[in-house]
Structure 1
C-alpha cells in the first residue's frame, strides 16, 4: 500500500495581554497599550477598569472658578460667589485667580476676601479721601477710623505740604484719628487728601507659610505675615511684606508651592523663592520648562511632587530638573489645562486640538487612561475627595451613571513578518450585572467586524470565535456599557506565509 502524504495545518499561536498599560498614542507602543480608549481609569493596577460613574453635586449656569477652602467648596457662577451651594456675595464675571488662606478665600482681580467663618465678603483694599488735619505724628479726618493698626498706607493729594505724600505704617487708631511714628508729617491742613491701603493687581496668587504671594508685571511679592490685605510694610521685621523685580523675558504664567520654596513660572524658566522671612528671601532662576500660558490651573501637588503642563507636556518636579510624564498622550499639546489629584490618581483635562478631553494618570504605575471627552475647568480636593468644575456645575465620582467604554488594541502582529488568520478572541474580566460587551476585529487597517455582542455579569472568560480574515496586523476593539474590569485578553490565530 502507498502511504498518503500527511497534510499539516497552519500552526496555531496565541498573543496575550495580561498587563494592561493604558493609553499610548505613540507609534510602536508597548504591548498591552491602547492606541485609543474611552471610559477607563488607571485605578486598578495591571488591569483596565471602567471608571466610576459621576454625579453633579451643584448645578450652575456659568461656572468659572472652584476652590477648596475652610472645609468646603467655593464656586464662582457668573457673578455669584457660592460657598457650599449658597450665594454669599457678588463678584465680577469671568475667570478669577483664587487662593485659600486658612478659612479665608482671596479673589483676584476683584481684590475681595471671603471669610468662611463669618460668611462675609469684603474688599481687601481700604480707600479714603477728604479733608484732613496733620500733626507731626497723626492725621485726623471724618471716616479715617476704618483703617487698622499695622496697616501700611499711602498718603497722596497733599499740596500744602507735598512732603506728607508718603507710605507709612499706622501705629494706633483713635476714632477718626490715625497715629504714626514721631515726626512723620509736617503739621497743616489739606482739603483733598487720600489715604489708601493698597493691594497689588496680582495676576497669579498662592499661599505659603501664612503669607499671600503673587506676581504683577515683572514683580514677585508677598503680603505681611498673616494679613493678605497688607502689602506696604517694610520695617526690617520678620513679619514685613516683600517685593522684588525680575529681569527675565516673557510674562509670568503661574505660581505654585513645593516643599521649602515657591515657584513662579514663565514658559521658558522658573523663578524659585527660598527663605522664611524677608531678610532671608532669595530668588533663583532655573532654565527649566515652566507652565504653558493659559495652563496655570494645571499646577498640582501629588505624592511629594509638583506637576504642571508645560510646552514639553506634563512634567513632574521633585526639586531638580522636571521629568516629562505625558509622552503616551501623544505630541498634540493641551490648551487651558487643569489638573487635580486624589487617591494616587492625577486627573488632567484640557483642549486637545480644540476638543475637550479628560485623562488620568496612575501615580503608581505611570499608566494613562482617557476617562471621557468632558472638560474640567478646575479641580479641588477638600477632605471628602476630588471635585471638578464642568460646563454646567460641580461634579464628583459616584452616582448611578452607566459608563460607556471602549478600548482599541493595535499591537497584535506588528512584526509584519507573517500573515495571520484570527480564529478566537478570549476576554477575561469581571463584569457588573447587565454589562454589555462588544468585540470587533480588523486586519491590516480594514473595517472592524463585530464578533461578539452580549450582556454578561460576574467573573467571565469570554471565548469568542473571530471573523475569518487574514492579514499581517490584527487590531482588536473591545467596548461596552456598564461596570467592568478587564484582566486579560488573548488572541488565538493561525499563522503562515502568504
Structure 2
C-alpha cells in the first residue's frame, strides 16, 4: 500500500497532505536541515538561518549534520559554526591571519617564576583580543632547519605580545621559524553532544572536547574537564554516532561501541562486534523513540535497547535492503525513513512504534528531517515540506493536492476449490465528500480493467461491485482514490461452475 498512514490502524487510510514550508531557487540543492530557536538549513554551498544566508560552505558535501551546543549551531563535516546570539558565522578551526615573521620562541615566566623555553613572543599582538583563551589547546607550527614541526600545547598565560606554555615546551627550538598558530578541532565526520561535551569520530578514532567547550580539543592535563581521544582496533570505520542513555555510542557496519564512564580518566570502551550496526550512508537514520534507538543497517531497520539489536523491517520485504542512503525523522510515535536504493530509487516509509506496523508513503527523496513548531519537516531537493500529521500551525504554508491513494492489489481465490466465477465485491470504506473512488478487477493475472459505474451501487459506506466474468482461479481487486479514505473491509461473492457441482 502506498500513500498510507497508520493513524486508523487496523483500517488502512491515506496519509495527511503535505505542506510546503519553503521553496528554494531553481538549481539549489538542500544538504541538511535543523532547528534551534529558528529553522536553519544548508544548501550545496551555504548556511541559512531563518531564511537568511549567514555563511558560505564548501560545495563538496552531499550531506551535512548539525549539533546544537548552547548558543552555537555546529556544522559537520565542514567544521563550521553559527553563533545565534552574536549573529556570527565562522570556522571551528581558528587560525588568525597574523604576520608571524617577527615571532620568536624563547624563555619567559610562568606564575611569576622563570620558565625555560615556554613563550611564543610576537610584538604588540594581544592574543586574547583576537580570539585565544587561557586553557586553549593550540597548534604551533615551525620550521627548524629543514624540518617542519607541529607542536600541540595548552596556553597557560597570555599578555600583550606573549603566549606562555609549560616550561620546556619549545626546548631546543631557539632558532626555529614560527610558521603557524591555530586552535584546531579533529577532522570529525560525525559529531554529537553528550552531556556537556562534543563527541565525534573519524575513521576508527573517537574524540571528546574539553567539558563545556566544543571548540577546544587536545588538552590533556589529567583533569576531569580534559579532552579525550581513543583509537579502536576495529577493522571497519565508524559510520554513525549518537548519545544514547547518557553514553556516547558509535557504530560501524558490524559493531557497536559505547563509551562508559563519567570523566576522561575513567572512560572505557565497551565493544560489541558481529552485530548489525549502521550501514554506510545511513548515519542520519539514527533516532531515539521511547528509550529505543532505531537505525538502518545493511540488513534492514534495527531496534536497539542496549543489548543485541533486533531487525523490525521484515514486513517491508527482502529486496529493499541494503540501501545507499537513509535519513530518518521521528514525530514522537512514528519513525520515518527516507530511503534511497543504489540505483537512485527513493521510498519514504514509516514505522508506528506504538502499533508496530509499517506503512509506505511514496518516492519522496529526503535528505534530512527535523521536528520544528510541532511539525516534522523534511528537506527534499529544493523544498522543505511537512511529513506525517501536522500538529503545529500550517496556515501560511502551501498544501499539496490531496495525495492519490492506491491499495496494493488484493487477491481472492479458493485453492481448495479450483476454478470459480466471481459475482461481486462488497467494499466498506469511508471517505471525504470530494473523494472519487475507482475499482479495478483482473482475472488470472490479466490486465486490470475498471469496473464501470453502471455496475457499482453505493449504500452509505458500502460499495457493491457487480462482476461479469468467466470461471477463473484468481480474482484481483485494486482500489484507487483521489482523496482521503479509510478501508474497513472487503467481502467477495463467487459461484462454483455447474460442471464442478
Match of 2:371 in 1: 381
Residues 100-149 of structure 1: per-residue CA shift (max 9 Å, x gap): 22332212232211122222212211225613233234323236333112
Deviation (angstroms), 1:92: 1.2
Asked if 1:207 corresponds to 2:193, the answer is yes
Match of 1:258 in 2: 244
Match of 1:23 in 2: none
Match of 1:358 in 2: 348
Residues 285-309 of structure 1: per-residue CA shift (max 9 Å, x gap): 2121111111111112122211111
Q: TM-score, normalised by structure 1?
A: 0.85
Q: Distance in 1 between matches of 2:367 and 2:170?
A: 51
Match of 2:394 in 1: none
Match of 1:138 in 2: 119
Indicate the structure whose relative CO is greater, using CA pairs within 8 Å and at least 6 residues apart.
1
Match of 2:15 in 1: 51
Secondary structure of 2:133's match?
A: coil
Secondary structure of 2:140's match?
A: strand
Q: Distance in 2 between matches of 1:62 and 1:488?
A: 45
Q: Distance in 2 between matches of 1:414 and 1:336?
A: 42
Name the structure with the higher strand share. 1
Asked if 1:103 corresponds to 2:71, the answer is yes
Deviation (angstroms), 1:371: 0.8
Which runs of 5 or more structure 2 residues have no equivalent in the other structure? Answer: 109-114, 391-398
Secondary structure of 1:357's match?
A: strand
- 2:2 pairs, out of 38, 41, 45, with 38
Number of residue pairs the alignment of both structures matches: 461
Residues 344, 447 of structure 1: CA spacing in aligned structure 2 closer, same or farther, 3 A cutoff? same
Q: Is the contact between residue 426 and residue 492 of structure 2 (CA under 8 Å) also seen in structure 1?
A: yes
Which runs of 5 or more structure 1 residues have no equivalent in the other structure? Answer: 1-36
Q: Distance in 2 between matches of 1:419 and 1:395?
A: 49
Q: Is the contact between residue 155 and residue 163 of structure 2 (CA under 8 Å) also seen in structure 1?
A: yes
Deviation (angstroms), 1:191: 4.3
- 1:344 pairs, out of 333, 342, 346, with 333
- 1:166 pairs, out of 151, 156, 169, with 151
Alpha-carbon RMSD: 2.7
Match of 2:207 in 1: 221
Residues 258, 466 of structure 1: CA spacing in aligned structure 2 closer, same or farther, 3 A cutoff? farther
Residues 362-388 of structure 1: per-residue CA shift (max 9 Å, x gap): 112222221111211111123422111
Residues 416, 90 of structure 1: CA spacing in aligned structure 2 closer, same or farther, 3 A cutoff? farther
The 5-angstrom pairing of residues 238-387 of structure 1 reads 238-286=224-272, 287-332=274-319, 333=321, 334-352=323-341, 353-387=343-377
Q: Distance in 2 between matches of 1:319 and 1:463?
A: 52
Q: Distance in 2 between matches of 1:326 and 1:335?
A: 16
Q: TM-score, normalised by structure 2?
A: 0.85
Residues 398-449 of structure 1: per-residue CA shift (max 9 Å, x gap): 6252211100233432645433322222222221121010111222222212
Q: Is the contact between residue 132 and residue 191 of structure 1 (CA under 8 Å) also seen in structure 2?
A: yes
Asked if 1:68 corresponds to 2:34, the answer is yes
Q: Is the contact between residue 431 and residue 483 of structure 1 (CA under 8 Å) also seen in structure 2?
A: yes
Residues 102, 41 of structure 1: CA spacing in aligned structure 2 closer, same or farther, 3 A cutoff? farther
The 10-residue stretch of structure 1 (308-317 or 118-127) with the greater mean CA deviation from structure 2:
118-127
Match of 1:431 in 2: 431
Q: Distance in 2 between matches of 1:452 and 1:175?
A: 89
Q: Distance in 2 between matches of 1:440 and 1:165?
A: 73
Match of 2:93 in 1: 125
Q: Distance in 1 between matches of 2:224 and 2:471?
A: 76
Residues 443, 343 of structure 1: CA spacing in aligned structure 2 closer, same or farther, 3 A cutoff? farther
Deviation (angstroms), 1:453: 5.6
